[in-house]
Amino acid sequence: MKVGIVSDSHDRADMLAAAVQQAKAQGAEAIVHCGDLIGAQTVRPALKLGLPVHLIHGNNVGDVQMLHSVAQGSDGLLQYHGGDARLALGGRRVFVVHYPDYAYAMACTGDWDVVCCGHSHLAETRQVANVKGEATWLVNPGTVAGLAAPPTWMLADLGALRFDLHTLRL
């Protein structure tokens, strides 16, 4: 299963939708948003592309009630998880949180195959040694909004555990 991973869209609906469109064109079956969407209206154009979106809120929370409302009216396309998410995607255990330090700690538990985060606006993919003597993938797609860094997103192939960084093309 391929999944698009985005973060820190900061009310840039056009950039988020462009990343979702590019991910879908490359075979993504779902989108994981690692927080700082801010306004619920930001996700609406992306939802029109028909991929399920798993969303957490990050530190720039926005209007939580409106996010719940958009999720309820999305026919299941938007799954709003609150502050973090525990997902089963493509046979993998995926944990999503906004903060890199929290993500690193969760990767160290060995309870997850992949841990996704955002917040720093710096794209990074690495394996973290965990307490079970194995390694967990830690993935930060950077900022799809291009704030203080290039606009980036990740395409994850969860079957192969491969993560490809993409610069957003507008």
User: How high is the mean pLDDT in each 10-residue block of the chain (170 residues)?
Assistant: 98 98 98 96 97 96 92 97 97 98 98 98 98 98 97 98 95
CA distance 53 to 55: 6
Pairwise CA distance, residues 37 & 122, whole Å: 16
User: What CATH number has the domain bearing residue 7?
Assistant: 3.60.21.10
Q: Is the pTM of this model over 0.95?
A: yes
Inter-residue contact 148 to 128 (CB < 8 Å)? no
- What per-residue confidence (pLDDT) applies to 169? 85
Structural domain containing residue 96: 2-167
**Rounded-to-integer distance, Cα 52 and Cα 74, Å:** 9
Q: Which of 28, 58, 27 is nearest to 42 (CA)?
A: 58
The pLDDT, as a whole number, for residue 61 is: 86
Number of domains within the chain = 1
Collapse the DSSP code of 47 into the 3-class scheme (helix H, G, I; strand E, B; otherwise coil) and give the result. helix
